Amino acid sequence: MAKAKAKFDAKDFLLRKGEILVMGVAGVCLVALLFWGVTKWASAEDPATIARTLAQKSEQVKTNIATGKPSPEDLKAIQPAEFIIKPQDNTPARTTDFPVSGPIFDPTAQPSTKRDNPLVLNVGDFQIDLVSGAMPGYDIIYDGDDPMIAVLTNVVKGDLDREKMKAALATLRATTRRGQENLNKIKSSLPKNNQPPGGPGFPPGGPGFPPVVRAPPRCRGAVRPAAA
């Protein structure tokens, strides 16, 4: 009688032998890491030799900077482009070659707030817009045939220009004089009596008030009430 073939149950195998399997895989990885570390340690160079080599190269670079001369290859690497060395021959365009057939300024109207489709140009078409902004360029000057860029020049500092100082002083005095004249005009245009007129007073001898005797205009004595 034939025996039935046993089926492999992965779940049951992991439950019974899972820990052993994981420990075996971890052991293999640990052995591989140990072998890699030993080979790296065996093939490593001497740190003192590496430091000595770097110090020698550093001293060589410093010596070349201080006393060395550039090679033709180095000079060729820093050689500016030909369009910088050679002055450009800019031929001015004649205005008669570009007649204006339309208005000088584009007519503008109130912009629409509605959504519209953007303008898409065909291949070969172009659009010219006037932009007011800075144009990047080279600030290059020529000293004979040698072009120079960003060159510092010495400026001689002299005494102040006496004529310019006199002109500035005269301008300041004239400005001050005009300001004083304007202030005088404003003062003269104002009314002389700025006090508000007094209201009607109480008549002398009114009820509850004793009669008042007023002093003459030139008298500076105190005003006293008359006897009742």
pLDDT digits (tens, 9 = 90+) for 193-208: 655 555 555 555 555 5
Q: What is the pLDDT, as a whole number, of residue 6?
A: 65
Confirm if 142 and 148 have CB atoms less than 8 A apart.
yes
Q: What is the pLDDT, as a whole number, of residue 173?
A: 92
**Alpha-carbon distance 64 to 71, whole Å?**
11
Residue 101 domain-assigned (yes or no): no
Rg (CA), the chain: 52
Q: Rounded to two decimals, what is the model's pTM?
A: 0.22
Residue 34 domain-assigned (yes or no): yes
Q: What is the pLDDT, as a whole number, of residue 17?
A: 83
* φ and ψ of 142, to 5 deg: -115, 125
Residue 29 has pLDDT above 90, yes or no: yes
Number of domains in the chain: 1
Question: Which residue did the predictor score with more confidence, 159 or 45?
Answer: 45
Least confident of 39-53, 158-172, 198-212: 198-212
pLDDT digits (tens, 9 = 90+) for 105-154: 777 777 788 888 888 889 888 888 887 776 666 677 778 878 777 656 66
Average pLDDT over residues 35-57: 87
Percent of the chain at pLDDT exceeding 70: 75
Residue 206 domain-assigned (yes or no): no
Residue 142 domain-assigned (yes or no): no
Residue 25 domain-assigned (yes or no): yes
Mean pLDDT of the chain: 77
* Structural domain boundaries, residue 22: 11-73
Residue 140 domain-assigned (yes or no): no
Residue keyed to tokens 């007649």:
99
Residue 228 has pLDDT above 50, yes or no: no
Please state whether beta strands 146-149 and 140-143 pair in parallel, antiparallel, or not at all (unpaired): antiparallel
pLDDT digits (tens, 9 = 90+) for 70-86: 788 888 888 888 888 88
**Alpha-carbon distance 61 to 53, whole Å?**
12
Residue 99 domain-assigned (yes or no): no
Residue 144 domain-assigned (yes or no): no
